[in-house]
Structure 1
Amino acid sequence: MSLAERITKWLAELRAAGMASLLARLAVAVGGVVALVVPGLQPWDQLDVVPVAGVPLLLACVVLPDSTAAALFMLVIVAGWIIRAPSDLGFGLVLTGIALLVVHLASAFAAQIPSYGKVHRRALRRWLLPATIAGLLGPVVAVSAAVIRGADVPGSLLVTVAALAAATAVVWFASGQSVSDR
């Protein structure tokens, strides 16, 4: 297959793409751009490999959401924060965390459907509620963990793990799941 035939096939698939697939891929792209830009704007020196590896991985996330590119993209961003960033909690860290959460959730949604698939609004709403709850609970748990860690409260790790478990349970049940489902 020649390059012209591949481009023609790709454009035909793009024209046939459903709105839900396009919106999910757009969310992956926007979340990924935010996750790449915010660490670069921080006062500490970011690793040079983060944008070099992150941009191609982000493009792969958008084009192939069912691949491991999203996991590798998030790993690159997180590794850049862990290696060079200060350990204090700031607005940039929270914003990058939310952006990575959007990349994760939108990639998971986009990977479930083919690009040409049509998705009913009810399926989109069923995904949107848990995604919104996770997006709102993530910063709350992060800030709470930072406050507890700074207060030198005995058992703060247990409190943090309990908060994350409670947040996971809320998202699980908001998605319409139950413990007895198989």
Structure 2
Amino acid sequence: MSADEKITTWLAQLRVTSAAVLLSRSVLAVAGAVAIVVPTLQPWDQLDLVLYLAVPLLVTAVVIPDSLAAMLFLLVVGIGWLMRAPGTISWSLILTAVALVAVHLASAFAGQLPSYARVHRAALRRWWLPGTIAILLAPAIAASAALIQHANVAGSLVVTALAAALTATTIWLTADQKLN
């Protein structure tokens, strides 16, 4: 297949793409851009390698959401933050965390569908509640961690692990998942 035939096929698939597929890929692109831009604008010096790796990974994750690119993007941005950022919890950290959660959820949804899939809006409804809960719980957990961090609470690791387990359980139950 020649290049012009590939482009023609791709454009034909794009024309029949449903709104749900476009929405999930748009959320993936916007949240990924926020996750790249927010750490870049911080006063501490971020590794340039993060930008050089994150941008192509984000483009790949949007174009091919069922690839390994979205997971690698999450790792690059997260490890880049951990390597150079201060250890305190800030609004930029919370915004980056929310953006990474949105990238994760959008890539999980978009990865299930080929680009030309016809998806009814009802399929999105299954993702709205768990996605909203996950995005709202990220700042709540960050605020709780900030309070625990300065309170010298014995067993704060246990409290953090329980908060993460409670978050995962809440999202699991609201997504109406079954064990079998």
TM range (shorter): over 0.9
Q: Partner letter of residue 57 of structure 1?
A: L
Q: Partner letter of residue 22 of structure 1?
A: L
SS in 1 for 2:82: helix
- Mapped partners of 1:5, 1:120: distance in 2: 29
Match in the other structure for 2:5: 5
Q: Partner letter of residue 33 of structure 1?
A: A
Match in the other structure for 1:91: 91
SS in 2 for 1:112: coil
Contact 2:66/2:110, CA 8 A, preserved across alignment: yes
- Mapped partners of 1:25, 1:80: distance in 2: 24
Match in the other structure for 1:129: 129
Q: Partner letter of residue 48 of structure 1?
A: D
Match in the other structure for 1:105: 105
- The equivalences for 1:146-157 within 5 A come to 146-157=146-157
TM-score by length of 2: 0.96
Shift of the alpha carbon at 1:128?
0.8
Q: Name the stretch that deviates more: 89-98 or 115-124.
A: 115-124
Q: Name the stretch that deviates more: 28-37 or 9-18.
A: 9-18
CA-based RMSD of the aligned residues comes to 1.0
Match in the other structure for 1:70: 70
- Mapped partners of 2:122, 2:8: distance in 1: 33
- The equivalences for 1:1-182 within 5 A come to 1-178=1-178, 181-182=179-180
Contact 2:16/2:118, CA 8 A, preserved across alignment: no
Shift of the alpha carbon at 1:12?
1.3
Moved over 6 A (4+): none
Runs (5+) with no aligned partner, structure 2: none
Shift of the alpha carbon at 1:145?
1.3
Q: Name the stretch that deviates more: 4-13 or 59-68.
A: 4-13
Shift of the alpha carbon at 1:28?
0.4
Give identity over the alignment, percent. 56
- Mapped partners of 2:64, 2:166: distance in 1: 32
Q: Name the stretch that deviates more: 20-29 or 138-147.
A: 138-147
Q: Partner letter of residue 134 of structure 1?
A: A
SS in 2 for 1:92: helix
TM-score by length of 1: 0.95
1:112-160: per-residue Cα shift (whole Å, max 9, x none)?
A: 1121222223221111110000110111112201210211110111111
Q: Name the stretch that deviates more: 149-158 or 26-35.
A: 149-158
- Mapped partners of 2:15, 2:120: distance in 1: 19
Q: Name the stretch that deviates more: 155-164 or 24-33.
A: 155-164
Shift of the alpha carbon at 1:163?
1.1
Runs (5+) with no aligned partner, structure 1: none
